[in-house]
Every structure is written in structure tokens, then in C-alpha cells.
Amino acid sequence: MERARHNLFPILVVVAVIVAIWYAAVVYLNAPWQLDIYQRANNTDWTVRQLVVDTMAQDRPVLPAPHQVAVEIWQTTVEKNVTSKRSLVYHTWVTLSATLLGFAIGTVLGVVLAVSIVHSRAMDKSVMPWVIASQTIPILAIAPMIIVVLNAAGLSGLLPKALISTYLSFFPVVVGMVKGLRSSERIQLDLMRTYSASTAQVFWKLRWPSAVPYLFASMKIAVAISLVGAIVGELPTGAVAGLGARLLAGSYYGQTIQIWSALFAAALLAACLVSVVGLANRLVLKRMGTRP
Amino acid sequence: MTRLQRFLALMASLLAAIALALPVGTVGGVDASLRDVPVLILFAVFALVSLLRFCRSVDPWGDGLVMVIGAVGLLSALRTLEMAGAGYWCFVASDWLFAWLFVERLSALRPLHPAVRNAQSLIVPLIFGVWILILWELVTRGSNVPTVLLPPPSMIGERFMASLPILWVDFQQTFLKAVLIGYALGSGSALVVAIAIDRSPFLQRGLLPVGNLVSALPMIGVAPIMVMWFGFDWPSKAAVVVIMTFFPMLVNAIAGLGQSSVMERDLMRTYAAGYWQTLWKLRLPAAAPFIFNALKINSTLALIGAIVAEFFGTPIVGMGFRISTEVGRMNVDMVWAEIAVAALAGSAFFGIVALIERAVTFWHPSVRQ
Amino acid sequence: MSADAVIEARGLGLTFETNDGPVHALSEVNLTVGKGDFVSFIGPSGCGKTTLLRVIADLERPTAGSITVNGVTPEEARLARAYGYVFQSAALYPWRTIARNVALPLEIMGFSKAEQAERVARTMELVNLTGVEKRFPWQLSGGMQQRASIARALAFDADLLLMDEPFGALDEIVRDHLNGQLLELWARTNKTIAFVTHSIPEAVYLSTRIVVMSPRPGRVTDVIESSLPRERPLDIRETPEFLDIAHRVREGLRAGHSYED
């Protein structure tokens, strides 16, 4: 908390600088189009002031101004019915549900895999290299195909997208948990040995508690990457709902403001998801008596 | 033998025996005879002979031999059989258990010689990988899975070899242009920025949390914007890659530059070393493990970014373009061939970065052990 | 002020401002170290002996009093590369071979390649490390690493050597051995050495002068001149003179009330 307050001012300055650069870029990038309009309307007595104002009020700007995006977000969230297809809340919910389902399956799968890897030398030797190799494969590239193929097989809606999230999110969990389950020190394992504790006892009393911090660290990465998976899963043809679909539709029709608002919704969602996991992390560690 | 190994061995032989009694499949609409699939009989014989392990010790490679005979038998039987029957699937299960047993016994060995140990850590995952492929082939062809759903690996392989020219052009467009250029620009500029703001604790305190937040964001979403700004060709994809690779490198490089210990920096101070001398001789080498960590993360991110960005519009070339159009035409084998290229390129890229890392940070405890 | 004083401190004080209020790390320290002296600073932890060494090296700035090194301020002395500093641990860079670690200050100070090679060979021989030039630090024992770090401090021929508990992390057998080597080196090179330690036998065995310090505030409580000859075989430590000096050091430490709290 102390550190957060300590950093607040520098963060605000950095954010302010970014916003300022953004506004400058808005004028710079949108001006050619605006000048073109003036020329076609034979409007020669435009002022710089007017130009600046006009560049921030275009319908389909090259780069929308921050306040345009804010207005769009406001209009599509608060002023629209949440069940409406034009509501950003609706699209965010579609993406969120796929993200959470994929994240949940991925985490469970990751933990199970990590436990078996830690307890079986054969699993460690044969599966672990492939778990790592699986991530050097740009799996997101398969995303559209998985969606289309699963659609053809009669599976549609939430699950195919969630499967992509699962694939992406299981990896950090496996790697983090394998590390965590092995993080108990030699001396502590030896202590358990002197009690002749069973494998299950060693697991529940030593390995699992010492792996929990690693689990949360991995889950933070997993939930963020889960969201990316769900969004990309919404890109392929025919996707009608979700933030990914909004991005794609926006790019088809040149609706830059819509793209940016979807982008910000995604960013906000990511930040929320990560901080919820962070909060859970703090609560659990507090209950376990560990210093967060 | 451990309990698990005894159980696996018993089940594997048992399944092979049961398989002999069940219909192996159909040829021309009628039940096929086992005589049509001689290698499977051989496999069953070996599987039963392997029960001798309960009287005397059998080398792990014996199980390997049985597994190979089984795999050959199962694959060759697919040529004869039109539809696989219960007996065939029992053979598959039996052979799978032999493979498991083989891997289990092989990894239980603890060879003393480092070369043998290296070979072990190479062979075991290789067997596992090949087995996955074989199982994939057996299941898709044995039960006639529609190829639009999941084509067998052999079909993908054929398509791969037949379309090498297209794959090469796509690879050039996506990997050699968009990925490599974007990767170099994104990682390079982030490193420069990290060094620049490293002198200002204020900027660091402000930028680090923002950078951390941004690297958790779905940056892939900027793809449509970049396509709008930089056009359909590779520069827009490179721009996406730049944005995706920038923040992981920034965050890691800043953390890495703070890695040198107080004592090491005091040492430089006692030599009255200048800022750049300290940077070159101490802080950059000490940051190398972190920088390489980012380079490895970025190697996969770059490929993902370039391919996904192509979904938003390309000239009629590129891996992402090919994937999305061939999916539309239900040419799933071509999609898989393209995915194989992406997988090979991704693994090779990651592997090369990892090799350079080993060479450069040879001194780091994680490498030298 | 004596003409050949290498270090001269008058009323030196250093106060750290912390969240729990000011901490007086050093207060009213007066000290003169002459050329060719081997001075040990001894005292319990928190007595400011390391801080004093860091002030001499310009790694800390004093908040009161004055100090000169070679007749100039510590900063000027540092910029003139007047001293070599040996830390508690070897602090060798793991990505450099031993020879290149020893060459590090030479590279920074802009010596020519040929001179670097010559000096590295000479100082490596001085600390009996010939033969391990191509090895990396982590491949060497703790004692060898610390010897390499001494070689690194000697490489650029500063007349003053500042050593901060250099052998504190080593076992007694290795430490005895290195103490003997250090004395030999001191005799051969005629350097001035300021040596921080918390071991009484080590201080007595090595020094021509022992500065006893005590904590809260960190200050000098006693300065004991050693009557031992410059030539010191290891078994000098069983002689009555040695035990007598050790006794006086112990008395000095006790007088500083350093063990009561």
C-alpha cells in the first residue's frame, strides 16, 4: 500500500504524458483527411483552432480522440440495454464467460498435470518437454480452425472458445505448479521422511501449501492469456458476439471508434481479472498465515 | 519392478490375449480373419512371451521391441481393414500400455554417464511424441473420422510435401518479413527505452506499473488498427509484432538492469568508473538473463501476433491468410500443414534464442547446473 | 598533521536519517594512519567499523568533521584511483574469467592490452593464483575467490588497500593461510592497509596498530600499538607478547560496554 502511494504520482505523470501524446497524434493523423474535406468544400478560411476541434470530431477518424472513445464506451454501456446486441456490456459478458470457463478448465488441468509430473518420473521425462514445446507453437493460429471445425462437428457457442483459453492458460499453471510443488526445501522433505509420512501426507502438509504462492502467480498470467484466447477465438468468420467480434466488425466497416472502445473494454476486463486474482491471492495467503 | 510396472505389463499382455478372441475388423463388409493381419499375430505372440518377465528379468528395450512390432502391425492392418473392430482397439490399447511401460522403465533408469543421460532425456519425450502421432493416425483412420474434423497425420504430411512452394512463400511473407523485423524493432527499441529511463527513478516508478499492466493486456487487439494504418502488406503485421514485443522486453530489461548487487556497484564506484563503463561491464551482463527471458517470450508472441494480424486483411499470401481462407474452403489438411510450418518455425525460433542464451549467460546458476 | 599521513580524520561523524529517527553510525572519530601501517578496526557489529572504511573510500559521505586521504578529500582520492577495496565477499563477476576479473579495473582505467596482461600475470602470482586464469569464479573455492578479489584490488598498484572483513566468510584453516599470505604481501609491497575484522586473533596477528571501536554511537575507544616484530610466523600467536596484546584488545572492547547490550 505504502509503495502504491509512493508510485501514484509518477504513474499519473506517465499516464498524463501518454494522453497528451495521444491528443497530439490525433491532430497529426486526422488532419490530412480534414484538410481534404475543407478543400472539397472550398473552405479556405479555416483556422488552426477549428482544424484541431474538427480532427477530434470525425466519424471515422484514423485515430479517435480519448474523449470520443470515452463517449462511445459510455453510450454503449450505460445508455444501452444490457441485452442489446449493441451493448458493450453484452459483448464483454460473452467474452468474459468464455474466458472464465477456459481459465477454470485450464487451471484444473494444469494443476492435475503438474501433480502427476511431480510424482511420476515417466511423466516428467515424457510429458514435460512437450508441455514446453506446446507453447512455442503459435496456438492462436489454430484458433479459427478449432472454432470452425468444432462448429462443423455440432459444437458451437461457448465451449470452443473456452477450449482455446484452456490451451493457453494451462501452460503457465503447469510450469508454475511444477516449480511450486518442487519448491519445498530438501531439509523440510527430509523432516517429513523422518516422520515416515506417506506421499499423500507430504503432498497435503508440505508440497501443496508451499506451492500456493506459485499457483497464484501462474493464475495471474493464465487469466490474462485466457482473455486473449477468448478474443482471438471470436475472430473467425461468423462470430456474432464478443469483444473479438466487435474488433472484427469494426475493422470491416472502418469503425475506428468502435475498435478502440472494444480494445479499452478488453483492457479494463484484463486489469479487473488480474486484480481479482491478485486479491484472492492476498486473502488466501493471509488465511494461510503467510506474509503476502 | 514397481507395482505400477507389474500392473501395466499384466494388463498389456492380457489385452493382447483378449484381442485375439475378438473380431479384428471388416474387409469388404465381412469379418476379417486374423490371418489377413499377420504382424498383429506376431505382436500378440511377443506380448504373451513378455509375460516371462515375471520369472526372469527382461531388458526395457524388450518392451520397446514389442511396442514397435505392435505399432507396425496396427499401421499395416489399416491398409487391409476397412473398419476396425473391437479386437483391433484392444490391440491399440495393449500397444499403448507397452509404450507406457517402456517409457516408465526407461525413465526409471538413472544412467551415470552424462552423454547417456542426455540421450535418455531426448529419447523418452521423442517416444511419447511419436506415440501421440501414431495414436492420432490409428484413431482417425481406424474409426474413419471425417477428414474435415481431424485429418490423419499421414494425410497432413502428404499435403505438406505437395505444397512446399506455397508454404515457403507464406513463410517468407509472415516469418521472414513481419515476424523477424517486428521482433528486432520491438525488442530493440524496448531495450533502448529501458536503458534511457533507467537513469530516472521517477520515470521507472511511473512506467514500470504501466508497462506491467500493458503487458497483461490483450495487445493483439491493436491488429485491426495497425492494418488500417499501415496497409495490408507485411508492415502492418510487423507493427503489431513491435507493439506486442515491446512491453515484455521493457519490463524485463528494467528489472534486469536493477539486478547488479550493491556491492558490485560499489566496486565500480571505487574504480571511479563512469556511467557507460558501469553499464557495459556490469549492468548489461547482469541483466542478460532477464533480457533473454523477454526474448524467449517475445519469440512466441511475435509469431502469434503476425499470424493473427493477417486475419484482419492481407495481400493473398501469408500463413494467417492461408489458414483463414483454407478453413473457409474446408481444406483442413492444408490448414494443418500450415500449422505444422508455424509449429516448426516457432520451435526453431525459440530453440535458437534459447541456444544463444545458453552461450551468453553460461555463467548463470540456472544454466551452469 | 604528520607529513606521511595517508588517512587523517578529525572529529569525523556520520548520522543516517531513518524512519526510526537518526542513527549515529560514527561520532567524533579522530584517526591518523601513516604510510606503511597495517591498521585493523575491530569492534562488535554496529560499531561503525565498516562505515568508517566506506567513508574513507567515499562510498559514504560524512556529516561532520573532516577527513583526508593522501592529503585530499576522499572523493578526489577515489577519482585519482588511490586505493584498492576488498569487500566482505569476493564480488567477482560470474561472466568473466578470473584473469578478466582481475583485469576489470585495468580496463576501466584505460591501461593498454599489453600492460593489462603483464599486470594480471604479476598480481595473480602475488596472490599465488597462477594457473587458474582461464577458470570462472564459480569453479573456484571461496578462499581462491577471495584471493582473486585481492589480486583485483592490487592490480592497479594503489598504495592504499582497504579491506572490509575479507576473510570473514572463510573457515579458520583457510583464514590462517590467507592471513600469512597477506602479511607476506604487505611486507613485499610496502602498502598501507586498513583492515576491518571482528576477530581478535586476526587483528593482533596482522596489525601494527589496532583501533578498537564501540557502538551507539560508533566511536573509537582505544588505539593499541603492537609491539610485535614485522616478521610474524604463525606460531607467534602462542607467545606471551601476542597474548598480552590480545588481552588488551579484549579489555578495550569490554571497556566500550560493547557486550552488555
Q: What is the DSSP string of C165-180?
A: STTTTS-HHHHHHHHH
Contact yes or no for C78 and B269 at CB 8 A = yes
pLDDT on residue A3: 56
Considering only alpha carbons, which residue of chain B is nearest residue A262?
A: B221
Given phi > 0 = left and psi -120 to 50 = alpha, else beta, which region is B254?
alpha
Considering only alpha carbons, which residue of chain A is nearest residue B227?
A: A251
Query: In the β-sheet with B30-31, what is the strand arrangement from edge to edge?
Result: B30-31, B25-27, B83-84
Contact yes or no for A263 and B222 at CB 8 A = yes
Q: What subunits make at least 3 CB pairs under 8 angstroms with A?
A: B
Domain with CATH 3.40.50.300 in chain C: 37-63+73-82+161-261
Q: What gap in Å lies between CA B24 and CA B30, rounded to an integer?
A: 11
Considering CB atoms only, which of B261, B277, B365 is closest to C108? Answer: B277
Domain with CATH 1.10.3720.10 in chain B: 160-368
CA distance B208 to chain C (A): 26
Tens of pLDDT, residue by residue over B322-340, are: 888 887 787 888 888 988 8
> Residue A204 gets which letter from DSSP?
I
* Domain C37-63+73-82+161-261 class in CATH: alpha beta
pLDDT on residue C257: 61
- Provide mean pLDDT across the span B287-297: 89
Q: What gap in Å lies between CA A81 and CA A88, rounded to an integer?
A: 10
Q: Which residues of B touch A15 (CB under 8 A)?
A: 210
Exposure b/e, A229-251, CB count within 10 A at least 16 = b:
bbbbbbbbeebeebbbbbbbbbb
Contact yes or no for A10 and B203 at CB 8 A = yes
Tens of pLDDT, residue by residue over A27-84, are: 888 888 888 888 888 777 777 788 888 777 777 788 888 888 888 888 877 777 767 7
Do B363 and C138 form a contact (C-beta atoms < 8 A)? yes
Q: Which residues of A touch B324 (CB under 8 A)?
A: 144, 236-237
Is pLDDT above 50 for C258? no
Q: What gap in Å lies between CA A184 and CA A203, rounded to an integer?
A: 10
Band of residue B241 on the pLDDT scale cut at 50, 70, 90: very high
- Provide mean pLDDT across the span C36-57: 89
Tens of pLDDT, residue by residue over C86-125, are: 998 888 888 889 999 999 989 888 889 999 999 999 888 8
Q: How many CA atoms lie within 13 A of A240 on its CB side?
A: 5
CA distance C44 to chain B (A): 21
Q: Which of A2, A14, A276 to mutate to test the interface with B (most CBs of B within 10 A)?
A: A14
* Domain A88-287 class in CATH: mainly alpha
Considering only residues 207 to 236 of chain B, which have any Cβ-Cβ distance to chain C shorter than 8 Å? none
Q: Which residues of C touch B368 (CB under 8 A)?
A: 138
The domain made up of B160-368 is a member of CATH 1.10.3720.10 = yes
Interface residue B276 vs chain C (CB under 8 A): no
pLDDT on residue C261: 46
pTM for this model (two decimals)? 0.80
Q: What gap in Å lies between CA C252 and CA C261, rounded to an integer?
A: 16
pLDDT on residue A137: 67
Considering only residues 140 to 159 of chain B, which have any Cβ-Cβ distance to chain A shorter than 8 Å? 148-150
Q: Which of B97, B197, B304 to mutate to test the interface with A (most CBs of A within 10 A)?
A: B304
Q: Indicate contact of A with C: 3+ CB pairs under 8 A.
A: no
Q: Which residues of B touch C88 (CB under 8 A)?
A: 263
Can you read off the three cell numbers belonging to residue B78? 489399416
Q: What gap in Å lies between CA C205 and CA C203, rounded to an integer?
A: 6
Do A180 and A210 form a contact (C-beta atoms < 8 A)? yes
pLDDT on residue A1: 44
Is pLDDT above 80 for B216? no
Q: What gap in Å lies between CA B274 and CA C108, rounded to an integer?
A: 8
Q: Which of B124, B167, B193 to mutate to test the interface with A (most CBs of A within 10 A)?
A: B124
Is pLDDT above 90 for C3? no
pLDDT on residue A141: 67
- Kind and range of the H or E element at C7? strand C5-18
pLDDT on residue A239: 59
pLDDT on residue A4: 59
Exposure b/e, A8-46, CB count within 10 A at least 16 = b:
eebbeebeeeeeeeebeebbeebbeebeeeeeeeeeeee
Q: What is the DSSP string of B142-197?
A: HTT--TTT---HHHHHHHHHHTHHHHHHHHIIIIIIIIHHHHHHHHHHHHHHHHHH
Do A231 and A95 form a contact (C-beta atoms < 8 A)? yes
Contacts (Cβ under 8 Å, ≥6 apart) of A274 = A220, A223, A224, B216
pLDDT on residue C2: 47
pLDDT on residue B356: 92
Q: Where are the domains of chain A?
A: 2-61, 88-287
Interface residue C74 vs chain B (CB under 8 A): no
Residues of chain A under the 50 pLDDT cut: 1, 292
Considering CB atoms only, which of B304, B312, B351 is closest to A138? Answer: B304
- Provide mean pLDDT across the span C17-26: 84
Q: Which residues of A touch B100 (CB under 8 A)?
A: 122
